[in-house]
Amino acid sequence: MGLIPKVKCSRCDKSYPGLKNKCPYCGAHRVRGGKRVSDTGDASARFMIKMLLLLALVVAVISMIVINFDDEPAGGTTISGGPVITDTNGEAGEVGEDGTIIQTPAPTPPPAPTPTPIEATSLDIRWQFWAAGVNEITIRAGDEIDIWAHIFPTDATGEPRFVTSDSNVANFRVDSEDVRRVELQGRSVGTAVITVTLDDLEAELIVRVRS
């Protein structure tokens, strides 16, 4: 059925579209407020128009809901009772009843395992041009040479301790970067003993200083 209502000609009683001012069949002018063919046609047209408007409204509402659902809040997820991740520090937490974020403390990492100590099995004192079985050295007063504690195994834990029997004859200065190495200093003529100890191990070096 068309959307434009029809009217009947008052002369020939034929129906024609209501937009025409005179009957296309007999040429009679349309009477003001001319008679409609059927009120049912008008009702159907109004019903269809209303349905189209209602459908357009429903589509608009659904589109708004989908757009709002896709948008994420700038401050992160804030679902009550669930975890929340903030954009500023990335820490996890929960939203309390008053809307504030309750931060969950980060788990404490387990303590690092304590390294197993390695016990030294041998200890002696060595220097440049050292020879196996030799524990005696002669230097001049004013000379300085490097000596070091040779420990086996080399990765044994613990730090050796040096002492001198006579600091006026021979003394030493511990290396700032390696406590196993010292700088031996001849000070005056005489004999002194440099002793190094590590745990239950001990080694000696006889130092003879001459002029």
pLDDT on residue 122? 96
21-47 pLDDT tens trace: 777 778 777 665 544 444 445 567 778
Instruction: Write the CB contacts of 164 (distance below 8 Å, at least 6 apart in sequence).
Output: 170, 171, 172, 192, 193, 194, 195
* 12-21, 46-55, 75-84, 139-148: the lowest-pLDDT one: 75-84
Question: Is there a single domain that holds both residue 145 and residue 204?
Answer: yes
* 59-63, 120-124, 135-139, 142-146: the lowest-pLDDT one: 59-63
166 has pLDDT over 70: yes
9 has pLDDT over 80: no
- CA angle at residue 199 from 181 to 177, to 5 degrees? 25
164 has pLDDT over 90: yes
Give the ranges where the chain is alpha helix by DSSP (H): 39-70
Rg (CA), the chain: 54
* Mean pLDDT of the region 126-154: 95
Question: Is there a single domain that holds both residue 204 and residue 140?
Answer: yes
Question: Is there a single domain that holds both residue 36 and residue 80?
Answer: no
Q: Is residue 114 part of a domain?
A: no
Question: Is there a single domain that holds both residue 91 and residue 140?
Answer: no
pLDDT tier for residue 138 given thresholds of 50, 70 and 90: very high
Structural domain range at position 100: 72-104
Q: Which residue has the higher pLDDT, 13 or 165?
A: 165
Q: Is residue 115 part of a domain?
A: no
pLDDT on residue 64? 83
Question: Is there a single domain that holds both residue 11 and residue 56?
Answer: yes
Q: Is residue 113 part of a domain?
A: no
Question: Is there a single domain that holds both residue 147 and residue 173?
Answer: yes
pLDDT tier for residue 183 given thresholds of 50, 70 and 90: very high
Q: Is residue 110 part of a domain?
A: no
Q: Is residue 77 part of a domain?
A: yes
Q: Is residue 111 part of a domain?
A: no
Tally of structural domains, the chain: 3
Q: Is residue 204 part of a domain?
A: yes
Question: Is there a single domain that holds both residue 62 and residue 90?
Answer: no
Q: Is residue 112 part of a domain?
A: no
What 3-state class would DSSP assign to 148?
strand
Question: Is there a single domain that holds both residue 86 and residue 100?
Answer: yes
Tokens in use for 198? 């590590």
The per-residue DSSP string of 60-117 comes to HHHHHHHHHHHPPPTT----BTSEEE-TTT--EEEE-TTS-EEEPPPPPPPPPPPPPP
Q: How far is CA 171 from the centre of its chain?
A: 55
DSSP structure class, residue 36: B
Question: Is there a single domain that holds both residue 157 and residue 174?
Answer: yes
d(CA 94, CA 105): 11
Q: Which residue has the higher pLDDT, 51 or 203?
A: 203
pLDDT on residue 34? 47
Question: Is there a single domain that holds both residue 83 and residue 50?
Answer: no
Question: Is there a single domain that holds both residue 24 and residue 62?
Answer: yes
- CA angle at residue 178 from 172 to 180, to 5 degrees? 60
Which of 45-74 are b and which e, b meaning 16 or more Cβ less than 10 Å from the residue's Cβ? Answer: eeeeeeeeeeeeeeeeeeeeeeeeeeeeee
Q: What is the pTM of this model?
A: 0.49
What 3-state class would DSSP assign to 7?
strand
pLDDT on residue 114? 86
Do residues 208 and 169 touch, judged by C-beta distance below 8 A? Answer: no
pLDDT on residue 200? 93
Do residues 64 and 58 touch, judged by C-beta distance below 8 A? Answer: no
76-128 pLDDT tens trace: 444 444 555 454 555 556 666 776 777 777 788 888 888 889 999 999 999 99
Question: Is there a single domain that holds both residue 63 and residue 87?
Answer: no
